[in-house]
DNA sequence: ATTCGCTTAGAAAACGTTTTCTGAGATGGG
DNA sequence: CCCATCTCAGAAAACGTTTTCTAAGCGAAT
């Protein structure tokens, strides 16, 4: 019932092959080309992508697998990826794993079934979940989190360096007792912790780092315990957005305020961060560039599949906010 | 090179048709079935979705077109949609239009080329952009924003009622000079404005509503002008998240604080809203239910395509926050 | 002028499945 | 016991494209 390339061919009085060639931009007689285009328009013909992909053996599609679509970092990166993909005539299939390795494996399988050209992946684990297969069937570029070995191309933030910047910033603001909260599972967390301790050592600070467990309850408990200690830190660095919100919640429950009672800094800039307390200092990731770079690496990899794995490390940018800027509105509580 | 159904058939010593039947769960001899399954496992066979879709003429895929993937409301709804779709064996193609009608039309075309079973759409405009076609080729369910006519099925928040609730809440908190900011273009904005004025009328308040233009600069200007008036409102209702952030920014620039100087309320709950000032009162949408309902309506529509258009209106939930809860920490500025 | 490319368009094959068709064997009823 | 019916598996067709193959036409070179 639906109209196909044969119908167009008939209307234009040419062969289906010619219609295909016109649509693909291959050289055909201008007069014919015109007739074909007119026929396409008059019939409202839309090619069947399934047929096209089956025959041509390439999907012109890449997969983008992210750990959390609700995370603004990933949405921003995926926007960037999508726009450069579109410019190259590639479609993007966006998959959300919710940090679940099983879903990740399932999506990776699905993308194979779709015969995608390649995949950009923000892995939910240190090891990429393969779903029982030993080999992935397409090139993969990792973003945000690296595989421990150099198996895959990847583009990462310079986590260690940026954590150093954060510590230096807090130091400059006058803070001396700084505690760092880092994810227990991810390479990203480990790198940031390393930078954190290195900078602290250089500045002569004795700092504390805490590996925060991934489960919600345990994380809340650890944080509440930290903040209600007698010798409470005067600044906290949170390695990711979830932790940062957890800290904020714990602070509010304890009746503490940022930046009056404690400073708080972290990674990933969100538009609301300038409004809580005196503002949160954060490291902003170059999301646009991460996306562009990942896409470029993937395209390179497609061109020569056997090149050595590459690792691109990008610098972030400190967005300084907090006590020093808003000293004018610091105040004491009236009650309690 | 890649292994196909014929290879599996050969390994199992059966015909391709039999392999297909086993995989589809159709009745075959148990012994054969077992051999086939073993062959599938040993060969690592993965079906080619393009071929399957081409032959079977259904994609088992629905499209989900949202206006802003960065908006937590849409990510939450899409999660819900995806989980019920997965339970029915349907894939979801997620498309982000960035509120651009041209992109919307392009995606709607693309989804047709993919031969999707149906589409769930959060339209960027009042009229659904069809990209020049007079008819869409698949059933469509609208979410979040309605088409003005009853042309499509849709599931919506009870916007007018929820706006009333917000006004009543602010009134109960003691606010009397309330200004409402509403999107100039969307039906959603109009409905919320109607509820707003209705509730205000019932309470005997003379309120002001402002239709905020869609462009960033104009919006900022309107808001700044409103807040720096001599007779500043003591409460503001923002119809959407973007406006809400704009208001917060303007307030900060003017040195005003929530809730000390002004109350602020809006729609869509975000996890950070409890931390700014004394907290923002908002209407939380039943995202889970919206997603489920939209999906159900789409499936119903597929079963009987000629039924009358349906419109489901869901209630939201007020999350009361703000001055009354945090009166204990109100304070005066020390400097300035 | 004849032959050798070279270009161009139509005919037909091919892509990897599912589904229809066909035939063989089993089953049951007359 | 034979024929009709039913079940099940293999053969082959079909899905809608792209691409290869083929042939025709044309220009240039010998």
- For residue A19, give how far its alpha carbon lies from the nearest alpha carbon of chain B (Å): 17
User: Picking from B40-44, B133-137, B233-237, which range would have the lowest pLDDT averaged per residue?
Assistant: B133-137
Give the CATH number of domain A5-47; options: 1.10.260.40, 3.20.20.70, 3.90.550.10, 3.40.50.300.
1.10.260.40
With 90 as the cut, is the pLDDT of residue B216 above it? no
Distance in Å, residue B26 CA to nucleotide D5 C1'? 21
Instruction: Name the residue with the least CA to C1' distance from nucleotide C12.
Output: A17
For B144-170, the pLDDT digits (tens) are 988 777 788 999 999 999 999 999 999
CATH 3.40.50.2300 domain residues, chain B: 61-157+287-315, 159-285+319-329
Nearest to A328 among B98, B330, B335 (CB): B335
Q: Does residue B19 or residue B186 have the better pLDDT?
A: B19
All residues of chain B having their beta carbon less than 8 Å from the beta carbon of residue A48 are: 54, 113, 115
pLDDT confidence band for A36 (50 / 70 / 90): very high
All residues of chain A having their beta carbon less than 8 Å from the beta carbon of residue B273 are: 272
Distance in Å, residue B18 CA to nucleotide D6 C1'? 19
pLDDT for the residue B25? 92
pLDDT for the residue A99? 85
Chain B contact probe: residue of A69, A112, A270 with most B CBs at under 10 A: A69
pLDDT for the residue A117? 96
Edge-to-edge, what's the strand order for the sheet holding A317-319? A208-212, A178-183, A235-238, A263-267, A281-284, A317-319
Q: Percent of chain B beyond pLDDT 70?
A: 92
Find residue A183's DSSP bridge partners.
A212
CATH 3.40.50.2300 domain residues, chain A: 61-158+287-315, 159-285+319-329
pLDDT for the residue B134? 53
With 90 as the cut, is the pLDDT of residue A265 above it? yes
CB A67 within 8 A of CB A74: yes
Fold annotation for A61-158+287-315: Rossmann fold (3.40.50)
Match 């056997």 to its residue by tokens: A306
The Cα–Cα gap between A64 and A54 comes to 21
Average predicted confidence (pLDDT) for chain A: 89
Cα-flanking dihedrals φ and ψ of residue B38, to 5°?
A: -60, -45
Both tokens of A277, joined, read: 């307390």
Distance in Å, residue B36 CA to nucleotide D16 C1'? 29
The Cα–Cα gap between B4 and A336 comes to 72
Distance in Å, residue A18 CA to nucleotide C5 C1'? 23
Q: Is the CB of B27 within 7 Å of strand D?
A: yes
Q: Is the CB of B10 within 7 Å of strand D?
A: no
Q: What is the CATH architecture assignment of B61-157+287-315? A: 3-Layer(aba) Sandwich (3.40)
Mean pLDDT of B220-244: 90
Nearest CA to A119 out of A53, A64, A67 is that of: A64
With 50 as the cut, is the pLDDT of residue A296 above it? yes
Give A215's DSSP letter. S
pLDDT for the residue B151? 80
From residues 32-61 of A, list those within 7 angstroms of strand D by Cβ. Answer: 45, 47-48, 51-52, 54-56
All residues of chain A having their beta carbon less than 8 Å from the beta carbon of residue B57 are: none
The Cα–Cα gap between B225 and B250 comes to 9
Q: Is the CB of B23 within 7 Å of strand C?
A: yes
Q: Name the closest residue on chain B to residue A275, using Cα atoms.
A: B276
Beta strand spans in B110-184 (E): 118-121, 140-143, 153-157, 178-183
With 60 as the cut, is the pLDDT of residue A306 above it? yes
Nearest to B50 among A54, A96, A133 (CB): A54
Nearest to A113 among B49, B59, B98 (CB): B49
pLDDT for the residue B119? 97
- For residue B111, give how far its alpha carbon lies from the nearest alpha carbon of chain A (Å): 10
With 70 as the cut, is the pLDDT of residue B324 above it? no
All residues of chain A having their beta carbon less than 8 Å from the beta carbon of residue B96 are: 78-79, 82
Q: Name the closest residue on chain B to residue A336, using Cα atoms.
A: B328
Mean pLDDT of B248-267: 90
Q: Is the CB of B256 within 7 Å of strand C?
A: no
pLDDT for the residue A56? 96
Mean pLDDT of B25-37: 93
Q: Name the closest residue on chain B to residue A109, using Cα atoms.
A: B46
CB B290 within 8 A of CB B265: no
Contact A48 B113 (CB under 8 A): yes
pLDDT for the residue B130? 62
Distance in Å, residue A16 CA to nucleotide D18 C1'? 10
Match 């009085």 to its residue by tokens: A13
With 90 as the cut, is the pLDDT of residue A132 above it? no
Distance in Å, residue B16 CA to nucleotide D10 C1'? 9
Cα-flanking dihedrals φ and ψ of residue B198, to 5°?
A: -65, -50
- Is CATH 3.40.50.2300 the classification given to domain A159-285+319-329? yes
Average predicted confidence (pLDDT) for chain B: 89
Distance in Å, residue B17 CA to nucleotide C21 C1'? 13
With 70 as the cut, is the pLDDT of residue A335 above it? no
Q: Name the closest residue on chain B to residue A52, using Cα atoms.
A: B50
Q: Is the CB of A263 within 7 Å of strand D?
A: no
Residues near A297 by beta carbon (within 8 Å), at least 6 away in sequence: A141, A153, A155, A310, A312
- Rounded to the nearest 10°, the torsion over CA B105, B64, B47, A90 is 40
From residues 42-71 of B, list those within 7 angstroms of strand D by Cβ. Answer: 51, 54-55, 57
CB B245 within 8 A of CB B219: no
With 70 as the cut, is the pLDDT of residue B127 above it? no
Mean pLDDT of A75-86: 94
User: How many CB atoms sit inside 10 A of residue B124's CB?
Assistant: 23
Q: Does residue B252 or residue A53 have the better pLDDT?
A: A53
Q: Is the CB of B18 within 7 Å of strand D?
A: yes
Q: What is the DSSP string of A77-118?
A: HHHHHHHHHHHTT-EEEEEE-TT-HHHHHHHHHHHHHTT-SE
pLDDT confidence band for B323 (50 / 70 / 90): low
Half-sphere exposure of B291 (CA within 13 A, CB side): 20
pLDDT for the residue A155? 96
- For residue B180, give how far its alpha carbon lies from the nearest alpha carbon of chain A (Å): 21
Q: What is the 3-state secondary structure (H, E, C) of B84-129?
A: HHHHCCCEEEEEECCCCHHHHHHHHHHHHHCCCCEEEECCCCCCCC
CATH 1.10.260.40 domain residues, chain A: 5-47
With 90 as the cut, is the pLDDT of residue B175 above it? yes
From residues 53-92 of A, list those within 7 angstroms of strand C by Cβ. Answer: 54-55, 57
Mean pLDDT of B217-244: 90
């Amino acid at each position: 019932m639906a109209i196909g390339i044969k119908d167009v061919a008939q209307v234009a009085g040419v062969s289906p092959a010619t219609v295909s060639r016109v649509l693909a931009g291959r050289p055909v007689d201008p007069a014919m080309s015109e007739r074909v285009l007119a026929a396409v328009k008059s019939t409202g013909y839309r090619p069947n992508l399934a047929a096209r992909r089956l025959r041509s053996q390439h999907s012109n599609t890449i997969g983008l697998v992210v750990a959390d679509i609700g995370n603004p970092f990933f949405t921003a990166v995926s926007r960037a990826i999508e726009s450069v993909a579109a410019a190259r005539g590639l479609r993007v299939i966006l998959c959300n794993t919710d940090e679940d390795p099983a879903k990740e494996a399932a999506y990776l399988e699905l993308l194979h079934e779709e015969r995608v050209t390649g995949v950009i992946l923000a892995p939910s684990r240190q090891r990429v979940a393969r779903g029982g297969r030993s080999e992935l069937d397409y090139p993969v570029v990792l973003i945000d989190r690296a595989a421990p070995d150099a198996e895959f191309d990847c583009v990462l933030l310079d986590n260690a360096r940026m954590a150093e910047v954060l510590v230096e910033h807090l130091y400059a603001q006058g803070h001396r007792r700084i505690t760092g909260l880092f994810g227990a599972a991810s390479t990203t967390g480990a790198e940031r912790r390393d930078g954190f301790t290195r900078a602290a050592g250089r500045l002569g600070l004795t700092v504390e780092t805490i590996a925060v467990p991934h489960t919600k309850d345990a994380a809340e408990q650890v944080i509440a315990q930290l903040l209600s200690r007698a010798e409470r830190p005067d600044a906290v660095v949170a390695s990711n957005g979830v932790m940062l919100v957890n800290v904020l919640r714990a602070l509010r429950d304890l009746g503490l305020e940022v930046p009056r009672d404690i400073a708080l800094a972290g990674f990933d800039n969100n538009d609301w961060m300038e409004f809580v307390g005196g503002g949160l200092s954060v490291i902003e990731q170059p999301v646009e560039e991460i996306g562009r770079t990942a896409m470029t690496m993937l395209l390179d990899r497609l061109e020569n599949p056997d090149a050595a794995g590459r690792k691109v490390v990008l610098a972030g940018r400190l967005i300084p906010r907090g006590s020093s800027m808003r000293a004018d509105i610091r105040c004491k509580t009236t009650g309690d």
